[in-house]
Structure 1
Amino acid sequence: MTDQIPLTPTVEILDGADHWIGAVAKRARCTPDEARIELARQQIRPPAGWGPQRHLHLDALLFAGVKTPKGQPRTPYIFDIPFTHNVTAFGTHNENDAGKSTVIRTLRWALRGRSQLQNDVRKWMRVVVLQFSIEDERLVVAFAVNEGEPTGAVMRLRQPIDFSGLRQRLDEPIEALRDEPNPDAHNATNTVIAAVHGYLHEQHAVAVAEFDSSDDFERVMDDLMLERLGFPRVPSWQNRPSAQQAHDGDGTLGELGWQTWSSALSITEPSVPVVLGEEQHAVVRLLQMYLGSPWAITVAAIAARKGQLSSQLGILQRRLQDAKGTQSEDLAQLQAQLRTIDEELKTQPPPGDFTDLERRIEAAAQAGRKAAAAEAVYRQASLNYGEVSRLLESAEADVEALHEAKLTRRFWHSLKPSCCPRCDTDVSEDRWARERVGQCSLCDSPLDEVGEDPNTEPQQPLKVTDLDQLLSDGTDLDIDSLDDLTAAQLQMRQLEGQLAIVDRQRDGAREARDTAYQGWQAAQQAATTGPEKNLARWQQLWTTRAVTAARIEERQNTRSTSGLERDIEEVQRQQKIVKAAENEAKEHLRGDQEDLLRMVSNQVAILGKTLGVRNLESVTLVGNGHMPVVKGGEKANFGGLEPGEKLRLKIALIVALMRVGEEAGVARHPGLIVIDSLGREELNPKDMISMLAELVKLTREVPYLQVVLTSAYGERLVEGLGQERVLLAQKGQPLW
């Protein structure tokens, strides 16, 4: 069986994009058809467009529970805050560990679905309610917390929640937690969330999605926020750390989603030298996304496929190296060793009449040959098992992709356009009559699935019992007569059966090998024991000769490596086309972003000075995520700046992305900035107060900009923002 890496599942061939396909083919020195087919197989497509910017606004937050610190009495609590201003701050009187960061982390938990709360605080929680708006849609995330795990729903609201009324509804069930024998019990929490759900039901809230675990919550928020904010899922290749790599380029194929895009909404560690977001590996994708070029998605997909192909090439090259090593590994050295043994044997005195010794030596030699042969059989069985396993994984991916494609197509076929999207011409009844008999009402092309009722349940993948029936009914299957999904399922089922067979073969080969090696060791032991001490060297030479001869025979019988070499050539051909596509897509991306980067750099410099970065002369934002500055006539890297300067420039960058995006019509940032523990990096109180005042001015200049922040320097918050924008804890008291 040829040792190969499964190809990416085949998808529909790219339609259109002739100019881009032609440019890629020219770069790769292949035909346009070859480029079109390969790019489709790698799921690389030119951008189809870019949706409008959508704004996210926080309306109000409530969370409640019971504090149960060790050795202290239980203390029920309810905390709620409306976000009635575009800048909202939470502060204490020079006190840390007073609940400020909990507010931010609870807010982010509800917004992202992923918790960063400390374990004890998370277990104190019983319910969290966050109301927010995306454009004209008002939503609420409401969930119970049972022993740290969230269970709840996202709902659409017809009218804003009266949080004072909701708080009154929660007073009694929350207070009851004070005397609850087991305040961590589910029934206690259920009483609290029941009060919330009862209130929301009265407000005619409609459930959009539900979740019952941390992973489920994260998935729900990922789906919901990506859809409503118009962000895509982008494939991403992540290399493993060097110490963990099995070969060059070893890594995993993942996906960038809401967790990544939402990181550009928070500044939780101002001192971290990342200009946007929270992780260095994602900063380039964040810049590309928030600068609004639709080519960013194509470039990201290409980068992921490049990493995947590089990993596949590394696997193949390692296998080729191993195969050649097995075939020719010290073969010349072994042959030279055999000649040396034979020469020494010629110099040994005649062994005399030692028939039994010769028999034992011959038995050891034969056992060595059997062990070598059994090892070769087991190695081949292992290769067969790995090959079938990889083919089965590819088939399973095909089934999943075809099932999702069928659901997508069903959705589009369920639509009933009333007019042509290009010229606004009404779709006449005559055209609808033609569509019912198989012709499209818009373009008059034949439809593949006539008469399918979109209200009926879509076809589901066949069950295992149905597939087994198809395979065992004794008739020859006409594969062409089957739909793609059924054919892919049948192939997957056949491969599952084949995998079971090769697995049993591998187990049998392993047992045979182990038995053969045990026999060889026993034969060696028998050949090297005996009373004839004067023949010890002669025995050793003959035993070593038998082993060496067996190893030579094994290497000479190793299979050809031509199949692996062909596979390597194929992956290198794919890499050539993907590399050409990357160069072409990056050229488009640079064309989209070159002027935008310069405009953003100028805005960051202006805003940075306004926010208090002293002696700042210029800023240069680079597409790779670096942002060197000139300050006081000296060049400096962003990572070398003071923490307070980094914070100011991070805020300036986010606002600059909004401003430039608005001017260029490519804005993507939803408009929310969350800053935790502001002021911890400040040496001069006046600098912090001045920066706060400038933040308020910025929210007037960018009306959809909303800032939520915390600080232990509550008096500075009040002085810089005004009392109405600050929730300040009493001296010596926690915030909640």
Structure 2
Amino acid sequence: MSQFARDVVEKLQRASAAKRLVDVTETEVDDLLRAKGVSTTSTVPTPQSLQLTKVRFGGSRRPPLPATNTGPTPTPAGSPFEFDWNPGPGLNGLGSARNLRGKSTVLEVILWALRGTCGVQEDVAKYIDYVDVGFAISGAPIGVEFTVTNDQPVGKVVGGTSPVVQLASFETKSEFAAAMAEVMMPRLQLPTIPTFSSVSGAYEHAWPSYAGALAITVAGLDILIGDHKFGLPARLLQMFIGTPWATTKAQAQTARKSLDAEIAADDERAGIADASRTSHRAAAQASLDAALAALAASPDPLADLAAAEAAVANVQRLSNLIAAAVIQHADLRTRTVAMEAEKTEEQRRQHQLLEDALAVKFFNRHQPTMCPRCTSPVTNDQRKEEAAGHACSVCHEELDLDAFDADLLIASTADETTRRSAIAGAKLVADTSPGSGTDRDAPDDPVDTLTALETAIGKARAQIAAIETNLGRWRDEREQSLALATPANLNASSRRDAELAVARAQGALEALTVPSPAVATGSEHVETMRRHARILTAADDLAGERVTEGQRAALTSIADRVTVLARSFGMDALTKVEITGSPSLKAYKSGVPVNYSRITRGEQLRLKVALAVALLHTADDTGIGRHPGLLLVDSPAAEELAQENVDAMVRALADAVDAVADSQVIIATRNVDLLNDLLDDRHRRIADGDGYLW
């Protein structure tokens, strides 16, 4: 059993009455946590560095189609372009004297290759035909190469140098995103972040959420860490600073919320069922009252009761006769149809026998003069031998004497079926000949079979006619008896119907009064879920306490570093910063606390950059955490920072990044003079004059 399960059991046994479980065991807790995917151990993560080593992309700038175009026009060839850069560690800069010169596009292409999802503006993305971006994860090279075909990325992810190994391939946008998650998550040792929402239920944040936290853009300043709200910034903060038990906390919280939602749904269904049951019970009581009133008002059936009973008995007797006659009638009709079919078959068979026999008789009367096989002549001696010795005059085969007596020539070696058919056909020919004296009473006589069938069919048809006559008579008699029984019977029937209605209404009311087995089973299931919810709540609370305790010192250290960095970025009035695990940031300006959401956009930018750099320092100082050390910052001057503040921020950022091993920051700015002053050629890429970067 795990120590975490023991601690959960202890917490449940010491909890308040509403949350207490005294009969819970460590085995039950361990089994439940395992079933819900909640880790019972905590690991200390080691940072894995991520650096950009190459970014190359190209295509052609295609001019817009003329406004007067009304038919299909080939896509213009445009002017080709290519951007190729190999940035180094530390601070790197992308500069242009004016905005809209391609700086943001370079950062978006880097993120496209990193995340597997495209954030490049649609009109610009149409220019790009190929992308080749290289990364290094703790020194191990990773390459992302793809072309854009029909708006779909088609390419591969490779690793290593000698040899280069293909790690994944993709042909669609969704496959690209999945491939990057599959490659990057395990290599950077990043776990998925489970979460829950009332709309989507339980789901997991993965690589796109981590990668989004590596870029700082104007559009994402409302969020302190990353580019998604709804609890994700807190999870990212915990992961990046390596807070112990953070994964267990996220898993337990998600499992608890999922179970709470399931319980709430069951409670809602049960509430609807209870309301429906109450409504149905009231309706059943009203039905019973109405049935009792109808029974009290029904007449007592006493008049002509004896005559009515006799008529009813006669109706029953006649109904039985009719039912039996109908069955007999159907049986006779079935047998008649079968016999008629048999008669037709017998007629066909006899006709075939007759034709075969006539053919045999016709050919047997011939006197062959030669053998049909070898043309050897048949002599008179051979014919005499046939008559005297009973051997065929042509083939000398011994003849069947019974057939010979019937004036048939059949070899004694012929099969029995052929022999019997030929003899029967010969007799049939004899019977149909004028003046024939053949005995028709012979048991094998085929004509007797046909006669017997015709006789049986006639008898059956006579029986059918007799039954139909009886049925008509019995039905008339039954109608007369029904007419006699109706007046008294109606009263009795009405009384019985009223009594049955009362019985049914009473049964329905009783059924709605006693809980059904299904309701009892559902109640047991809900109670089990409530018990599990208590266990998961205790696990969530316990992990939360450990997370809070584990990150308290780290958050204090990070807040102090953010204060120093933000002041170096030009926030001179800043005296202190407080950061909580939610995460929330409170800036003290001249001693007055102001929440992050209430400060200016320029101040938000500087604090967000300062926090990101502070996370890099924390991972470098402690050797704990999961921040990979890469940061992309887009156009800080866009938030109306004074030029001297931008200069101070970039210079301070360069010093801060240089102090962190294996870190890399790429910043896009219009201050090209500052980039030229701070960075060498490898670490900067600057557009010429008013030109474009690519």
Q: Shared topology, TM-score over 0.5?
A: yes
CA distance in 2 between partners of 1:18 and 1:559 (Å): 37
State the match for 2:312 in structure 1: none
Work out whether 1:105 is the aligned partner of 2:108: yes
Per the alignment, in what secondary structure is the counterpart of residue 78 of structure 1? strand
TM alignment of 1:82-161, pairs within 5 A? 82-84=86-88, 86-96=90-100, 98-158=101-161
Letter in 1 for 2:555: L
Return the match for 2:685 from 727, 732, 735: 727
Distance 1:725 1:550, change over 3 A: farther
1:109, CA displacement in angstroms? 0.7
Q: Which residue in the other structure is 2:319 paired with? A: none
CA distance in 2, matches of 1:553, 1:211: 65
Matched, 1:579 2:537: yes
Compared CA separation, residues 314 and 21, structure 1 to 2 (3 A): closer
Q: 1:47 to 1:339 in 2, by over 3 A?
A: same
Identify the match of residue 84 of structure 2 among 55, 66, 80.
80
Partner residue, 2:658: 700
Which residue does 2:564 correspond to in 1?
A: 606
| CA–CA separation in structure 1 for the residues paired with 2:506 and 2:631 | 71
Match of 1:231 among 187, 190, 194: 190
TM-aligned CA distance change 1:721 to 1:645, over 3 Å: farther
| 1:459-538 pair list within 5 angstroms | none
Structure 1 554/144 Cα, relative in aligned 2: closer, same or farther at 3 Å? farther
> % of aligned pairs identical?
26
Distance in 2 (alpha carbons) for counterparts of 1:614 and 1:583 = 40
Cα deviations by residue, 1:681-736 (Å, 9 ceiling, x for unpaired): 12411111111111111122113221112234545654665777442323443322
Conserved? CA contact 2:45–2:626, under 8 Å: no
C-alpha spacing 1:143/1:551, structure 2 compared with 1 (3 Å): farther
Q: For the structure 1 residues 153 and 341, does the alpha-carbon distance in structure 2 shift closer, same or farther, using more than 3 Å as the test?
A: same
Pairing 1:547-562 to 2, within 5 Å after superposition: 556=512, 559=516, 561-562=519-520
TM-score, with structure 1 as normaliser: 0.59
Question: Could you tell me which residue of structure 1 aligns to residue 238 of structure 2?
Answer: 288
C-alpha spacing 1:722/1:640, structure 2 compared with 1 (3 Å): farther
Match of 1:635 in 2: 593
Q: Match for residue 223 of structure 2?
A: 274
Partner of 2:552: 594
Aligned residues: 471
Q: Distance in 1 between matches of 2:253 and 2:174?
A: 27
Name the aligned partner's letter for residue 256 of structure 2: K
Give how far 1:99 is off. Answer: 2.1
On the 8 A contact 1:288/1:296 being kept in 2, the answer is yes
Work out whether residues 61 and 81 of structure 1, in 8 Å CA contact, stay in contact via their aligned partners in 2: yes
Quickly say closer, same or farther: Cα 1:133–1:683, change in 2 above 3 A.
closer
| Cα 1:712/1:342, change in 2 over 3 Å | farther
Which letter maps to 2:542? E
Shift of 1:263: 2.1
Q: Distance in 2 between matches of 1:74 and 1:643?
A: 39
Match of 1:325 among 271, 275, 278: 275
- 1:123 Cα offset (Å): 2.8
Structure 2: distance between partners of 1:552 and 1:613: 78
Aligned AA for 1:226?
M
Structure-2 separation of matches of 1:691 and 1:301: 39
Deviation of 1:553 after TM superposition, in Å, equals 6.9
> Deviation at 1:559?
4.2
Report the AA paired with residue 224 of structure 1: V
Contact 2:57 2:132 in 1 (8 A): yes
1:651 to 609, 616, 635: 609
Give, in angstroms, the shift of residue 125 of structure 1: 1.8
**Structure 1 residue 680 and structure 2 residue 629: aligned?**
no
Unaligned runs of 5+ in 1: 1-13, 160-203, 241-250, 348-544
8 Å Cα contact 1:47/1:297 also seen in 2: no
**After superposition, what is the alpha-carbon deviation per residue over 1:11-31, rounded to whole angstroms, capped at 9, x for unaligned?**
xxx666565455455454322
Corresponding residue for residue 424 of structure 2 = none
Using a 3 Å threshold, how does the CA distance of structure 1 residues 630 and 216 change in structure 2: closer, same or farther? Answer: same
In 2: Cα distance, 1:255 partner to 1:233 partner? 6
- Pairwise CA distance, 1:346: 11
Would the aligned equivalents of 1:236 and 1:301 in 2 still touch at CA under 8 Å? Answer: yes
Match of 2:27 in 1: 33
1:695 partner SS: helix
Counterpart position of 1:62: 56
Work out the CA distance in 1 between the residues paired with 2:268 and 2:188.
44
Say whether the 8 Å CA contact 2:574–2:589 is kept in structure 1: yes
Q: 1: CA distance between counterparts of 2:507 and 2:222?
A: 56
Task: Verify the 8 A CA contact 1:644 1:682 in the aligned structure 2.
Answer: yes
Separation of aligned partners in 2, 1:289 and 1:150: 31
Q: SS state of the match for residue 250, structure 2? A: helix
The change in CA–CA distance for 1:327 and 1:731 in structure 2 (over 3 A counts) is same
Contact 2:195 / 2:203 at 8 angstroms: preserved in 1? yes
Kindly indicate whether the alpha-carbon contact (under 8 Å) linking 1:265 and 1:277 is maintained by their aligned counterparts in 2: yes
1:205, distance to aligned residue in structure 2 (A):
2.4
3-state SS of the aligned residue for 2:602? helix
The 2-side partners of 1:556 and 1:329 are apart by 10
Larger deviation, residues 556-565 vs 123-132? 556-565
2:449 counterpart residue number: none
> Measured at CA, do residues 608 and 556 of structure 1 come closer, stay the same or move farther in structure 2, by a change above 3 Å?
same
Once the two structures are superposed, what CA deviation does each residue of 1:465-510 show, in whole Å capped at 9, x if it has no partner? xxxxxxxxxxxxxxxxxxxxxxxxxxxxxxxxxxxxxxxxxxxxxx
Report how far residue 78 of structure 1 moved: 1.1
* Structure 2 counterpart of 1:275, one-letter code: L
Match of 1:222 among 166, 181, 185: 181
Distance 1:721 1:329 in 2: 79
Quick one: distance in 2 between partners of 1:583 and 1:319? Answer: 29
Question: Shift in Å at residue 260 of structure 1?
Answer: 1.5
Provide Cα deviations, 1:130-159, integer angstroms capped at 9, x if missing partner: 111111211211111112211111112427
Native 8 Å contact 1:598 1:620 kept in 2: yes
Question: Aligned ranges for residues 188-207 of structure 1 at < 5 Å?
Answer: 204-207=163-166
Give the unaligned 5+ runs of structure 2. 15-20, 66-75, 298-500
1:210 maps to what in 2? 169
Q: Which residue pairs with 1:352 in the alignment?
A: none
Asked if structure 2 preserves the Cα contact closer than 8 Å seen for 1:23 and 1:584, the reply is: no
Counterpart Cα distance in 1 of 2:220 and 2:26: 49
Contact in 2 for aligned 1:270/1:643 (Cα 8 Å): no
CA distance in 2, matches of 1:53, 1:85: 16
Q: 1:313, CA displacement in angstroms?
A: 0.6
Amino acid of the residue matched to residue 548 of structure 2? R
- In 2, Cα distance between equivalents of 1:578 and 1:68: 58
Query: Over alpha carbons, which structure has the higher Rg?
Result: 2
**Structure 2 letter corresponding to 1:255:** E
Aligned equivalent of 2:203: 254
Partner of 1:329: helix, strand, or coil?
helix
TM-superposed deviation, 1:269: 2.7
- Alignment partner, residue 502 of structure 1: none
CA-based RMSD of the aligned residues comes to 3.2
8 Å CA contact 2:168–2:179 kept in 1: the answer is yes
Structure 2 counterpart of 1:311: 261
